Amino acid sequence: MTAAASTTAEVLSVHDLVRHYSLGGGLPGRPRTRVPAVDGVSFTIPAGTTMALVGESGCGKSTTAKLILQLERPDRGEVRLQGERVDGASRASLNRLRRNVQMVFQDPYASLTPHLRVDAILGEPFKVHRICKAGEIAARVAGLIESVGLSADVGRRFPHELSGGQRQRIGIARALAVEPALVICDEPVSALDVSIRSQIVNLLLDLQASRGLAYLFISHDLGLVEHMSDSVAVMYLGRIVETAPASTFFAGPRHPYSAALLASSPTPDPRQRGRPAALRGEIASLVNLPSGCRFRTRCPLAIARCAESEPVLLPVGRGHLVACHRGEEMAGAAALPARPRSDPTGG
Amino acid sequence: MSRQGVAPGAGEPVLQLEGVEVRFPSPHGSFAVVDRLSLSVTRGEILGVVGESGCGKSMLARSIVGLVPPPGRTVGGAILFDGVDLVRLSPDERRRIRGDAIAVVPQEPMTSLNPTLRIGDQLTEVLRAHRPEMSRSQRRARALEVMEQVGIQFAGQRLAQYPHELSGGIRQRVMIAMALICGAVKLLIADEPTTALDVTIQAQILELFVRLQSEEQMTVILITHDLAVVAQTAHRVAVMYAGCIVELAPVLDLFDAPLHPYTRGLLETLPRRGASASKSHLATIAGAVPDLARPPAGCRFFNRCPHALAGICDAALPALEPVADERWVRCHRWRELPAVAAAAVGAAS
Ligand SMILES: Nc1ncnc2c1ncn2[C@@H]1O[C@H](COP(=O)(O)OP(=O)(O)OP(=O)(O)O)[C@@H](O)[C@H]1O
Ligand code: SF4
Ligand code: SF4
Ligand SMILES: [Mg+2]
């Protein structure tokens, strides 16, 4: 793949993905309720770029990842890999998917088989996908270990003999074995300590630069998202409510929920306290979705119309889509109310 | 430096720790996870305590309230709360203070709530223990009052619910309500109170702590690994590393001009805001935290410090020294370091 091709081609696109879960079935007097965990999600990730998926827990980020990987079958919608549709029922199609899309998990402790040595963990994908001859596996594994910045002796250890940062490096190495085009990183550094976190972030950036990897970066840390991403998609209760190039998004999000997320995420700067922030109330329940806009129960800008019809994603600028009846008026966080502040100078 | 010899602090102390040591037994003797720690907490302040996993933040909190899990023990030092040494109290006397004048919001709200008891029963249980003179209806009224104080909507309904029926944010508010219910809290210790929460809920909970401090003149010790959280809430910050406080400073001073190489390292690893720095390498701190069971003889940050000098730094553990008004640092070389840093910046540009 040439450099030019890798920046223009899309590695992944999803179109109108829908996945409902059934809750509470089986018990007498309790009807089954269907909740829309992912409800009409569409986006495209160009090769070699990073798209961040942000939003609160339970909003559907991880379910979206599972649908892409066909670990769960979507009720509706399609996933395309390099333009070609992924067919969850065909072995050949699934094989192609597994060789092109890999995943790095939040919890490096839980994601590695505990009774296997690192060498064996990393050798597995080479065997499963018959990537090379049996005699070459050892050399390939050594290469992987080196590429994630670990020394060769790590190969003989068990996962519990590694630090959290080392384990996450092994998780990344395992994802790289098949030389994927896209790696889905689900909160890859949130279980790590600050001083280790930046090492892993740098590794992910280096691998992207050297291998032309694309990332779907699921994270709640907007500081990191700004640092890592080319584009951002914000999810709320199963739907994407805003998507934009990262620079556009961080310069001025247009959806009130995006603005609140940005304003609520604390900055490591005591001189920037009491910025506009703090949504009132909790995330609404998927079981009992409000009419109209799903965000209206918490939205400081809600008007009568918001209860009547659900806003759809509409373009408001270059590559910038917003699902809000008042998206045109919203210019950044300016319209949100301020919250009480603690004076850093004391008292 | 008239304060030398006094526990590091600022104004009128509500809590003073003097040489507090928490130790765990091991096959090769015992080891300290909180190592001769001295600290004075000022009445009415929010003191942030930051540090990486395992540095002893929770053990420090637990030793204050006498809840170090066995086989660990607080073996030395004094913990003066309004002049009374908590270490010397009987378990009964300590229990009377805990949950009343000193309250803790623990690190894991889910495991600290009893899953089989309704919220209302758990709240009033605290009152039954500390306020036996109150009637049933008084206890219920107080529970409703405190739930409203911490911003729980539909408090009446919540009383009848079980913990698993509540969202993470409301569960955390219940924990805070439980800490406040006796109405006599002077010192509130919150251990990672927002780590498990989403950012919009985190902002609400932090706002609540700020309100309790400013409106109720409560003293708050806020333990977190997140520098942004202390930047947003604390008046003073203690930075811990491997069982020791390595730097203690008013929040603006700490972020404007960190003195300890570890503090500087931590602040430098954070991503910068603004697209200009996008996809550039973040600063890192090399290596890993030393094993507390075999701590190094000298400075605990020696193996990771870019300014480490063999023969000096590894010879003896540096003391936590007063360096300016309200500022303390534990580093043999702090006097030279601003110059070192300035030279490095000069050379790079
Ligand atoms: N039961 C135990 N036996 C031996 N060591 C223990 C025990 N419990 C805790 N420790 C050690 O005590 C040290 C301090 O632990 P503590 O829980 O205070 O850390 P912390 O700073 O709160 O970390 P975190 O950010 O992960 O909550 C750690 O090194 C830990 O390994
Ligand atoms: S549509 Fe209405 S309720 Fe929804 S985000 Fe926009 S202003 Fe708020
Ligand atoms: S004492 Fe030495 S090793 Fe320790 S922090 Fe200071 S300069 Fe670094
Ligand atoms: Mg802890």
Of B307, B321, B336, best ligand 3 pocket probe by most atoms within 8 Å of the beta carbon? B307
**Whose structure tokens read 């109150």?**
B134
Report the distance separating Cα A64 and Cα A217, nearest Å.
Answer: 12
Give me the pLDDT at residue B197, please: 80
Q: How far is the CA of B150 from the centre of ligand 1 (A)?
A: 30
Q: Do A211 and A259 fall within a single domain? A: no
Per-residue pLDDT tens digits for B254-298: 999 999 999 999 999 998 877 567 888 999 998 888 888 888 999
* pLDDT value at B25 more than 60: yes
Whether this model's ipTM surpasses 0.90 comes out as no
**Residue A78 maps to a domain:** yes
**Residue A70 maps to a domain:** yes
Give me the pLDDT at residue B338, please: 74
Give me the pLDDT at residue A149, please: 87
Q: Do A225 and A256 fall within a single domain? A: no
Q: Do A106 and A170 fall within a single domain? A: yes
Q: Do A125 and A214 fall within a single domain? A: yes
What does the mean pLDDT of chain A come to? 87
Least trusted range by pLDDT, from A51-60, A209-218, B138-147: A51-60
Beta carbons within 10 angstroms of residue B314's beta carbon: 16
Structural domains of chain A, count: 2
Q: Do A215 and A314 fall within a single domain? A: no
Report the distance separating Cα B107 and Cα B58, nearest Å.
Answer: 8
- For residue A17, give both structure tokens: 């993905």
Q: How confident is the model at residue A25 (pLDDT cuts 50, 70, 90)?
A: low
Give me the pLDDT at residue B40, please: 94
Closest approach of B13 to chain A, Cα-based (Å)? 15
Distances (CA, A) of A76 to A36, A41, A42, A72, A210: 12, 10, 12, 12, 36
Of A228, A270, A340, the CB nearest to B207: A340
Picking from B77, B59, B80, the residue whose alpha carbon sits closest to that of residue B14 is: B80
Q: Which residues contact B319 (CB under 8 A, 6 or more apart)?
A: B330
* pLDDT value at B9 more than 70: no
Q: How confident is the model at residue B342 (pLDDT cuts 50, 70, 90)?
A: low
Q: Do A256 and A178 fall within a single domain? A: no
Concatenating the DSSP letter of every residue in B104-128 gives EE-S-HHHHS-TTS-HHHHHHHHHH
* pLDDT value at B171 more than 70: yes
Judged on CB neighbours under 10 Å (0-12, 13-18, 19+), A123 is buried
Per-residue pLDDT tens digits for B257-268: 999 999 999 999
Q: Do A166 and A273 fall within a single domain? A: no
**Residue A236 maps to a domain:** no
Closest approach of A21 to chain B, Cα-based (Å)? 19
Of B231, B233, B271, the CB nearest to A227: B271
Picking from A96, A79, A94, A88, the residue whose alpha carbon sits closest to that of residue A45 is: A79
Is the previous residue joined to B71 through a cis bond, with omega within 30 degrees of 0? yes
Least trusted range by pLDDT, from A73-77, A132-136, B229-233, B343-347: B343-347
Q: Do A209 and A78 fall within a single domain? A: yes
Give me the pLDDT at residue A28, please: 58
Per-residue pLDDT tens digits for B299-310: 999 999 999 999
- For residue B95, give both structure tokens: 């229990």
* pLDDT value at B35 more than 80: yes
B228 touches chain A (CB under 8 A): yes
CATH code (residue A168): 3.40.50.300
B58 or B275, higher pLDDT: B58
Report the distance separating Cα A98 and Cα A180, nearest Å.
Answer: 8
* pLDDT value at A336 more than 60: no
Give me the pLDDT at residue B295, please: 87
The verdict on the CB of residue B106 being under 6 Å from ligand 1 is no
The verdict on the CB of residue A299 being under 6 Å from ligand 2 is yes
Q: Do A153 and A293 fall within a single domain? A: no
Q: Which domains does chain B have, with CATH numbers?
A: 1-101+186-271 (3.40.50.300), 111-183 (no CATH)
Give me the pLDDT at residue A311, please: 97
**Residue A328 maps to a domain:** yes
Per-residue pLDDT tens digits for A184-220: 999 998 888 888 889 899 999 999 999 999 999 999 8
Helix (H) / strand (E) containing A91: helix A91-100
**Whose structure tokens read 């506009």?**
A276
Distances (CA, A) of B348 to A237, B334, B338, B342, B343: 47, 21, 15, 10, 9
**Residue A244 maps to a domain:** no
Picking from A282, A237, A218, the residue whose alpha carbon sits closest to that of residue B201 is: A282
Picking from A180, A62, A158, the residue whose alpha carbon sits closest to that of residue A112 is: A158
Of A202, A250, A269, the CB nearest to B282: A202
Q: How far is the CA of A286 from the centre of ligand 4 (A)?
A: 33
**Residue A287 maps to a domain:** yes
Average pLDDT value for residue range A96-120: 90
Is the distance from CB of B17 to CB of B40 less than 8 angstroms?
A: yes
Q: Do A115 and A210 fall within a single domain? A: yes
* pLDDT value at B6 more than 80: no
**Residue A343 maps to a domain:** no
Give me the pLDDT at residue B340, please: 61
* pLDDT value at B62 more than 50: yes
Give me the pLDDT at residue B165, please: 86
Which chain B residues contact residue A52 at CB under 8 A?
none
* pLDDT value at A274 more than 80: no
* pLDDT value at A119 more than 80: yes
User: Count of A–B CB contacts within 8 Å?
Assistant: 148
Q: Which domain holds residue A275?
A: 252-335
Give me the pLDDT at residue A5, please: 41
- Partner-chain contact B228 A265, CB within 8 Å: yes
pTM beyond 0.90: no
B111 touches chain A (CB under 8 A): no
**Residue A2 maps to a domain:** no
Give me the pLDDT at residue B26, please: 85
Q: Do A130 and A186 fall within a single domain? A: yes
Q: Do A71 and A126 fall within a single domain? A: yes
Give me the pLDDT at residue A335, please: 44
